[in-house]
Structure 1
Amino acid sequence: MKRAYNFNAGPAALPEWVLQEAKNSWMNFNDTGMSIMELSHRSKDYEDVHNEAKELLSSLLSIPEDYEILFLQGGASLQFTMLPMNLLEADKVGYYTLTGVWAEKALKEASKVGEAAACTSSKESNYTYIPALEEINVPDNAAYLHITSNNTIFGTQWQSFPTDLKVPLIADMSSDILSTPLDIKQFDVIYAGAQKNLGPSGVTVVIIKKELIKKDSSLPTMLSYETHASNNSLFNTPPTLAIYLLSLVLKWVKQNGGVEGIAAINNKKAQTLYNVIDESNGFYKGHAEKNSRSKMNVTFTLQTEEITKEFLQQAKEAGFIGLNGHRSVGGCRASIYNAVPLEHVQALAAFMENFQKNYK
């Protein structure tokens, strides 16, 4: 069966090896006579999967022992609320760097919980760049600094991160976690919806310093990090299928050279598309400034709406899926997450070159 050229922004492409492994065990996981979806989350067969996923993630990202790994539900959007509920003290302010729509939404939700504000923003340019580190001024009354490491809609990505902060650094890494080596110790909390690089939709990974997990009886039980940390993320029924597929994705990453190996391929994929854009003499124009370009989401526009519509129509006919840009930017967007093969990106680059050459 021919696979689509899947450039969807999320839910996104999954590795073929992962899908095949899941297919092989679909009706009979680990000789149980049941699918993974039918197993009790209290059974040893499932707990082994659960714990292996944590161990693989810890190994691949070199997560120190003083961090807890949580598997939660509700997507990154629930973390917009859960994070300030757990970390935003009454006499403090949660500060946010506004670099896109999802950062805006995180700030909006935090403001419903307590006092929150933006400390820097690139909104005036329609989020074409990531603010320089020296522009980030974190006031003394800060509870934490929140960043969104990759901005899917606008195609921008942090190239380096704030250091020497006196407050916790929080990162929404939903769209670039596991795509490049990372120093976990730079961060106090990382959260990520799985549906870009980690697996399917339905599970959210939270990596949090244990010292930040506090028991607070005033919090709703399910919105307390302590509830999930003290129960190995098994307080209630977890999304078992999503966590199983997450574990398979992590095995696939390990088989392909770990995060370092994946990053090398990601660099080639991004460079392949950006080369076409940069060498097109303005036929294609990237939305993001060059020093802020994302290696996960390549956003670009064409010269007119008419040309854009023709490009997208021909691309669809050629089997390229998910290239429509978000309405905030228009144009096109190619999401080239970990599981998108280099060959698919090369095929898109060739299509872009041929479209420019033949367009009249």
Structure 2
Amino acid sequence: MFDSFEIPKELIPADPRFGSGPSLVPTEFLEKLAKTGHEFMGTSHRKAGVKNVVKEIQEGLKKYFNVPSDYLVVLGNGGATLLFDMIALGLVEKKATHYTCGEFSEKWYKSTKLVPWLAAENVSVPFGKGINGKAVAGSDLIAVTLNETSTGVQLSELPIVDANTLLAVDATSGAGQCPCDVSKTDVFFFAPQKVFASDGGLWIAIMSPKALARAAKIAGDKSRYIPEIMSWTHAISNSEQNQTYNTPALATLFIMNEQVKRMNEQGYAEIQKLSQKKADLLYSWAESKPYLSCYIEEKQFRSIAVATIDVDAKVNVDDVIKFLEKKKAVYGIDGYRKLGRNQFRISMFHNISYSDLDKLTKLLSMMIESKL
């Protein structure tokens, strides 16, 4: 469909990666990792060389999010999805209420629902709509999603819970960029392959003293089944020693640490401002073109990490995407497959520049308009 289209050189992004995960990993991080030679990769995660990197990540995240000193940054293997089951098995006493608005928030609810000795309540809205959540009598854990990766819905405020209730926040694609006061959460968890620009396979949970106490209480109940790999006791005790329970991917740790250091140079508040500027660019572009529209109609729920833009049915976005990938000009702007919409999903993660997003919008408009 676009075989005769020529991409103007001035509209070719400096970096073609706009995917919502895995994220854009700066090549200089890989070059720095290579320079460690035989001193890091292939060494024991129980030794100082790796433990120091884990410690830097933990301290860097506490600084970045301004986390209270009595919170603990806990790390483990398996990715954030593993925590859906870990939280149900090891942090919910009797009942959890989930607020869902997309594929991943629903997936978390389904994990809790499958535990036969727990009650799980789902408070949902249609995909594309936003929901903030609130405390529910009888529920000892409230589960919300900071940024629904599948739809581009972002929380506009956090629920307030009491001293007997945990607030758990899946922040996988929003942590570090979408606004959130981590000190008002009990379990703030994510994986590094989004804003924190590393590979997957690792999970990070910033836990309050209340959450740590709940984990210890449930671990002491020997009638509850918790697989060893999902043990909060193991994860917490190893994290207190700046390591993980089982062997981690060292490259993932190294690259994430580089990103945390880079982001701390600007700080959370400044990065949120930069992210909002990028979001304003994309949403104003969508609103200014008759063949585009913002999938998220409620402005207060529009993400500043992942933007979803619907396209007029006269132009097939798959043809646009395939052409750009063939030319190696733009990668990763596909809509979430299960939504089944004629849609671009464009990440605005920290390493994606405003300049490249500006070029992308102009390039997409040129291509679409050439067929209308």
Per the normalisation by structure 2, the TM-score is 0.85
- The question of 1:206 aligning with 2:205 is answered yes
Which structure 2 residue ranges, 5 or more long, are not aligned? 1-12
- 1:137 Cα shift? 5.5
Matched-pair contact (CA < 8 Å) for 1:298–1:334 = yes
Specify whether residues 297 and 181 from structure 1 end up closer, same or farther in structure 2 by C-alpha distance, changes over 3 A only.
Answer: closer
Give the secondary-structure state (helix, strand or coil) at the position aligned to 2:310.
strand
Matched-pair contact (CA < 8 Å) for 1:26–1:35 = no
Aligned to 1:342: 354
Aligned to 1:293: 302
Aligned to 1:24: 32
Mapped to 1, the partners of 2:86 and 2:316 lie a distance apart of 44
- 1:284 is aligned, of 292, 309, 312, to 292
Specify whether residues 318 and 238 from structure 1 end up closer, same or farther in structure 2 by C-alpha distance, changes over 3 A only.
Answer: closer
Deviations 1:246-297 (A, max 9, x none): 1101011022x1112221211111111111101113x102211223111111
- 1:219 is aligned, of 226, 231, 234, to 226
Amino acid at match of 2:353: P
- 2:261 is aligned, of 251, 255, 267, to 251
Amino acid at match of 2:285: V
Specify whether residues 231 and 284 from structure 1 end up closer, same or farther in structure 2 by C-alpha distance, changes over 3 A only.
Answer: same
- 2:187 is aligned, of 160, 164, 189, to 189
Give the secondary-structure state (helix, strand or coil) at the position aligned to 2:141.
strand
- 1:186 Cα shift? 1.2
Deviations 1:24-47 (A, max 9, x none): 3415x2xxx515221211222221
- 2:118 is aligned, of 115, 118, 124, to 115
Mapped to 2, the partners of 1:40 and 1:109 lie a distance apart of 33
Deviations 1:82-114 (A, max 9, x none): 00111122xx21110011111111111111224
Aligned to 1:98: 100
Aligned to 1:355: 367
Specify whether residues 305 and 9 from structure 1 end up closer, same or farther in structure 2 by C-alpha distance, changes over 3 A only.
Answer: farther
Aligned to 1:47: 51
Matched-pair contact (CA < 8 Å) for 1:6–1:322 = yes
Aligned to 1:66: 70
Matched-pair contact (CA < 8 Å) for 1:61–1:181 = no
Aligned to 1:129: 129
Mapped to 2, the partners of 1:109 and 1:130 lie a distance apart of 21
Specify whether residues 327 and 44 from structure 1 end up closer, same or farther in structure 2 by C-alpha distance, changes over 3 A only.
Answer: closer
Structure 1 segments of 4+ aligned residues over 6 angstroms from their partners: none
- The question of 1:262 aligning with 2:271 is answered yes
Matched-pair contact (CA < 8 Å) for 1:156–1:294 = yes
- 1:318 Cα shift? 6.8
Amino acid at match of 2:118: E
Identity over the aligned pairs, expressed in percent?
Answer: 22
How many matched pairs?
342
Mapped to 2, the partners of 1:242 and 1:288 lie a distance apart of 33
Specify whether residues 34 and 187 from structure 1 end up closer, same or farther in structure 2 by C-alpha distance, changes over 3 A only.
Answer: same
Mapped to 2, the partners of 1:137 and 1:50 lie a distance apart of 34
Q: C-alpha root-mean-square deviation of aligned residues, in Å?
A: 2.1
Matched-pair contact (CA < 8 Å) for 2:169–2:185 = yes
